[in-house]
Amino acid sequence: MSGDTFKKEQYKKSRSLWRSTRLQSDAVKSFISVLPVIILYLIISIIPAVFAVYASLHFIPLMSPTWTFVGIENYISVFELDQFWGSLWRGLIFMVGSTIIQVSVGLWLAFTLNDISIGQKYLTSIVFTAYLIPTVVVSLVALFLFDQSFGLFHMIGSEWFNLWDSTNYILGSNTWAMPLVILIGSWKFSIFVTIFALAQLRSIPSRFYEAARICGANRWQMFRDITFPRLKGIILTVILLRGVFMFNKFDLIWMLTEGGPGYATTTLPLLAYQETFQGGSYGLGNALAVMMFLILALSAILYFKAASPSQEAEV
């Protein structure tokens, strides 16, 4: 009997000893395990960000290696650019318009996919495909559909609905370019919201609904008391993410219109790209990039203060 307890004691002792030696090497190992990520993050995010701030204080012609320190001159030029405030405004329209459409369409699709029983798997794969299709393909198909000679949507709009003249290239028209870019982007990016919301909807145990049904709750009551409280956090998070991503969106707009016609679809990322690679002024482009980041960070902090999505999402 006493032998048994002795053995146990010894086992416990050796186990704790073995644990403490482990703990010492744990610190090293944990550091090693996250080291590659830290290095990558430094190279790709932090160093470029610092570099951008540094470069924004210099005058740098793109083709020459000479940097001249000019202080905050680039930032003054940013505010003097005729296109800065216009681009900021268009960027906000693009961001807010896209986010509203994407969140509403995305949620609608999530509810549909969650409730539908016939062909659920097929419908889900069709919908998810839209998210995985590269933006360039979305843009190419859109350019084709709105082509003024061979485009189906162009023809439908001009011949069936008389929305525009049949000779008018509408992705190059001041009135239509921005709304169309928003709509074309939403075809793909709404699905991001759908995936988020659908994952959350699927994780709600069905016994909640069964219990509610037994108590005689109707669909609205079930939505209000079961679904919505669990979806609220996700919705707030997704609004933030979509807003940030759309504010930063470059590829879609660039491929569809290159910011044109004129500056009708030029948002801040496009302006920064143009100033850098077409205007040839690397310092100014970086000053714009830094401004963009500051605007975004400030808005995100305000949003966090107002909506605190992280607290909601932790439910």
Partner 1 sequence: MSNDSSSTSGVLGLDHETEERLHRIVLGISGLIAAFVGIFPIYWMAQNSLVTRQAVLDGPVLIPSPEEVTLSNFAIIFNNDVVMYFFNTTVVTIGTIVSVCILSLIAGYGLARFEWSQKENFARFLLFGYMFSPIVLGLPLYLIWQSLGLLNTRVGLIISLTAISMPFSVWLMWKYIQTIPRSMEESAWVAGASRWRAFRDVVVPQTKPSIIAAALFAFAIAWNDFTFAQILLPKNEATTFAPGMMRLVNQGYNIGWNEIMVVSLLMTVPPLLFAYFLQDYLLKGFEIRSL
Peptide bond into 205 cis (omega under 30): no
Residue 271 CB, nearest approach to partner 1 (Å): 10
Q: Give the ranges where the chain is alpha helix by DSSP (H).
A: 2-41, 47-55, 73-80, 82-115, 120-132, 135-145, 152-155, 177-202, 206-214, 219-222, 228-247, 251-257, 268-273, 282-307, 309-313
Rounded Cα distance between 150 and 144, Å, is 7
Residues 217-256 contacting partner 1, CB under 8 A: 218-221, 233, 237, 241, 244-245, 247-248, 250-251, 254-255
Residue 40 CB, nearest approach to partner 1 (Å): 4
Interacting span for partner 1 (CB under 8 A) from 80-88, 94-102, 174-182, 190-198 = 190-198
Q: Is residue 214 involved in binding partner 1 (CB under 8 A)?
A: no
Interacting span for partner 1 (CB under 8 A) from 2-10, 80-88, 118-126, 167-175 = 118-126
Q: Which is nearer to partner 1, 2 or 33 (CB)?
A: 33
Rounded Cα distance between 197 and 236, Å, is 11
Q: Is residue 211 involved in binding partner 1 (CB under 8 A)?
A: no
- Among 45, 174, 175, 278, the residue binding partner 1 under the rule CB under 8 A is 45
Interacting span for partner 1 (CB under 8 A) from 79-87, 96-104, 122-130, 174-182 = 122-130
Q: Is residue 205 involved in binding partner 1 (CB under 8 A)?
A: no
Residue 29 CB, nearest approach to partner 1 (Å): 7
Q: Is residue 101 involved in binding partner 1 (CB under 8 A)?
A: no
If 0-12 CB within 10 Å is exposed, 13-18 middle and 19+ buried, where does residue 300 land? middle
Interacting span for partner 1 (CB under 8 A) from 37-45, 78-86, 93-101, 168-176 = 37-45
Rounded Cα distance between 288 and 247, Å, is 14
Q: Which is nearer to partner 1, 2 or 133 (CB)?
A: 133
Please say whether the beta carbons of 195 and 128 come within 8 A: yes
DSSP character for 46? Answer: I
Q: Is residue 308 involved in binding partner 1 (CB under 8 A)?
A: no
Q: Is residue 47 involved in binding partner 1 (CB under 8 A)?
A: yes
Interacting span for partner 1 (CB under 8 A) from 2-10, 81-89, 167-175, 266-274 = 266-274
Structure tokens at 182: 């928003």
Q: Which residues fall within 8 angstroms of residue 14, CB to CB, at 6 or more apart?
A: none
37, 289, 242, 132 alpha-carbon torsion, rounded to 10°: -60
